[in-house]
Structure 1
Amino acid sequence: MRPDRNAELALLLEVAGTPKPGNVDRHRDLEDLRFEHFLAGAVGARDGLEMAADSAEVGPAFERAVEGMAEQDGGNTQFGALLLLVPLVRAARGGAGLTRSDAEAVVEGTTVADAAEFYRAFDHVDVFVGDPPADMEPLDVRRGSDAIPALEERGLTLYDVMDRSVPGDDVAREWVRGFERSFAAADRLADADGPILERAAAVFLSLLAERPDTLVAARHGEDVAVEVTDRAATLHERGALETDRPAVEAFADDLVDRGINPGTTADLTAAGLFIALERESVEI
């Protein structure tokens, strides 16, 4: 299957996996964001993913994917996932598998023009980000295309922008750490047993258990993010998905009720699904 189709499939599989504590899945909606919005977002992103598979540069492909994703009524469904998937699709276009070095070469080769397209993507959809430091206010991504002159004046590539977003954003961290956790997620998916949606839920819980979600930290504070990770770790360590599934379901419901959304962990799960599909290490 073409990389762009595997990426679309990864987005669909990610949202269909359940329970995925705090996130939309096929059994849970958020107040203003529903399962069908994610299905429509994945399909809408298709043109941008196809551009990446057909040799387009990362920036234009990402901007087009976000534009298409945003055509549904729910708003931001998969912005972070697409920021991971577009360079991975671009790296996989040779058809000879996908490695971390492939992905690193793609992101390290991005340009100022790619960064400008990244900023334009913020014109299509509201994305939650924290306030930047005072010296970075001209480059606040929430300004969208209005920030491009400051970006060009500083000569920052898209890789540079991601590098400046660490440690507060674990999607950006993947860019500068060679997609470390995305590839680890793919390995876990390959090693797990059972249907792919069960594996996706298990890998999501394992990722949430090992590191506080940066979106939760940005929205609710570091203490809440650590609390969520500690609870996930307790459930993961005792294999609760297999031995006490109601406990995981209750955790999922509690996070939804409290408006706590580990969205970055979901983004990493989608990236892991794509890598596993691209490597043909999982079957559907």
Structure 2
Amino acid sequence: MTAPLTSERIVSSFHEACLAELEALKPGNVHRIANGHNMSVGDFEKSAAAAAPAIGAPDLSVGERIEAAVEATREAVGQNTNLGIVLLAAPLAQAALDPSGHSLEDRLKEVLGSLTIEDACAAYRAIRLAEPGGLGQAPYHDVAAEPGSPCMKRCRRRRPGDRIAWNYTHGFVDIFKLGLKWLDGGTKRWGPVAWVTTYVYLGFLAHIPDTLIERKFGGAAASEVRDEARPIEAGLSHCHDPQDMAGPLTAFDASLKERGLNPGTSADLTVATLFAAALQGR
């Protein structure tokens, strides 16, 4: 049983999760050691600060939370830096505000099960404003049109290759059954948050084809990056001192950025894992 959190605690937990993720060496993604893809660490720091108040606001619906956070981000940095993060964080925050006393995971499932068409309309507006790369058109529930149903509950149908949509229809299983498991394991083994975050990120990258890469470059490219990540993830999981893997991680980072490959969905899932852990008091 878990008590609801204050709005202030949720705001700070989200902000800190976003900043912690930036400290980790995440191959192909923006981080403190190397920028990339025409984005900088500063852009993400501004985005985190701008979006946090909406994520933790006490009186918004999930859709309103998403739309307000994306609008604030757009005003702060003028580009899409955190749409996936916001889409994952908004229902987690809603669950943390729930006074029911159930676990965060159970409350999250209740939130996802109660999404409305108004939530979908607000989320669609946010997605259109963010203009995420590689979105294209979808045969069902295309975001260029208004939703005809509360499709955030069934959004996997809109784009089967979208892992964030997949998590909406599967109770955020990637966060609760994978990400938090890797986070706990890395924390017990090494301690420093930056290396634990790298470990979580590599877990997603090595086990789930990144759907931002898939949308922009195709399934073969996403699978190739997953396969390239696997030996690096295995090396990190078996080393006593994670610093020993800094060389391979840095080389992989440079290789992905030279090819223009940004595993953005893996980074989004990583932030959501850190956020969920903070909401649970880990």
- Give the TM-score band, short-chain normalised: 0.7 to 0.9
Residue matched to 1:211: 208
Q: How does 1:238-277 map to 2 (within 5 A)?
A: 238-239=235-236, 241-277=242-278
- Cα distance in 2 for partners of 1:122, 1:228 equals 26
| Aligned residue number for residue 166 of structure 2 | 173
1:76 and 2:83 are equivalent in the alignment: no
How many residue pairs get matched?
266
Deviations 1:27-73 (A, max 9, x none): 1112421110000000110221122xx14210111100111111233
Instruction: Give the Cα–Cα distance (whole angstroms) in 2 for the partners of residues 201 and 97 of structure 1.
Output: 30
The offset of 1:25, in angstroms, is: 0.3
Q: Find 2:54's aligned residue among 33, 48, 52.
A: 48
Tell me, yes or no, if structure 1 residue 24 matches structure 2 residue 30: yes
Q: CA deviation at 1:270?
A: 0.5
Between stretches 235-244 and 212-221, larger displacement belongs to 235-244
Could you say which residue in structure 1 is the equivalent of 2:199? 202
Residues 254 and 218 (structure 1), Cα distance of their counterparts in 2 relative to 1, 3 Å cut: same
CA distance in 2, matches of 1:234, 1:174: 26
Cα deviations by residue, 1:63-109 (Å, 9 ceiling, x for unpaired): 00111111233511110011000100110114757432211110110
Q: Quick one: structure 1 residues 209 and 65, their matched pair in 2 at CA, closer, same or farther if it must change by over 3 Å?
A: same
* Distance of 1:120 and 1:218 partners within structure 2: 20
Contact 1:188 1:203 in 2 (8 A): yes
Runs of 4+ in structure 1 over 4 Å off = 95-98
> Which of residues 179, 186, 189 in structure 2 aligns to 1:185?
179
- CA distance in structure 2 between the partners assigned to 1:29 and 1:242 by the alignment: 20
Pairwise mapping of residues 75-114 of structure 1 onto structure 2 (< 5 A)? 75-94=79-98, 96=101, 98-114=103-119
Moved more, 189-198 or 56-65: 189-198
Structure 2 stretches of 5 or more lacking a match? 1-7
Q: Whole-Å Cα distance in 1 between the matches of residues 129 and 244 of structure 2? A: 43
* SS at 2:199 equivalent: helix
Distance 2:225 2:162 in 1: 17
* Alpha-carbon distance in structure 2 between the residues aligned to 1:129 and 1:115: 20
* Aligned-residue offset at 1:125: 2.3
1:243 Cα shift? 3.5
Further displaced range: 191-200 or 87-96: 87-96
* Structure 1: distance between partners of 2:74 and 2:102: 30
Question: Does residue 7 of the first structure (1) align with residue 14 of the second (2)?
Answer: yes
Change (3 A) 1:35 1:89: same
Q: Name the structure 2 match of 1:278.
A: 279
- Greater CA drift, 91-100 or 33-42: 91-100
Paired letter, 1:82: V
CA offsets, 1:2-44, max 9 Å, x none? 12321121111112211x0110001111242111000000011
Among all aligned residue pairs of Structure 1 and Structure 2, give the percentage whose two residues are the same amino acid.
31
Does the 8 Å contact 1:47/1:64 carry over to 2? no
TM-superposed CA distance for 1:166, in Å, is 4.7
Asked if the contact 2:47/2:77 (under 8 Å) is kept, the reply is: no
Once the two structures are TM-superposed, the CA of residue 174 in structure 1 deviates from its matched residue by 0.9
Task: Look up the match of 2:233.
Answer: 236
What stretches of structure 1 of length at least 5 have no aligned partner? Answer: none
Q: Per-residue deviation at 1:218?
A: 1.1
Task: Specify the code of the residue in structure 2 equivalent to 1:224.
Answer: A
Q: Please say if residues 85 and 269 of structure 2, whose CA atoms lie closer than 8 Å, have aligned partners that are also in contact.
A: yes
For the residue of structure 1 that corresponds to 2:42, the secondary structure is helix
Question: Does the CA-based 8 Å contact 2:63-2:121 persist in structure 1?
Answer: yes
| Counterpart code for 1:235 | I
Amino acid of the structure 1 residue aligned with 2:217: H
Q: For residues 5 and 221 of structure 1, do their structure 2 counterparts lie closer, same or farther at Cα, with a shift above 3 Å needed?
A: same
**Coordinate RMSD, CA, aligned:** 1.9
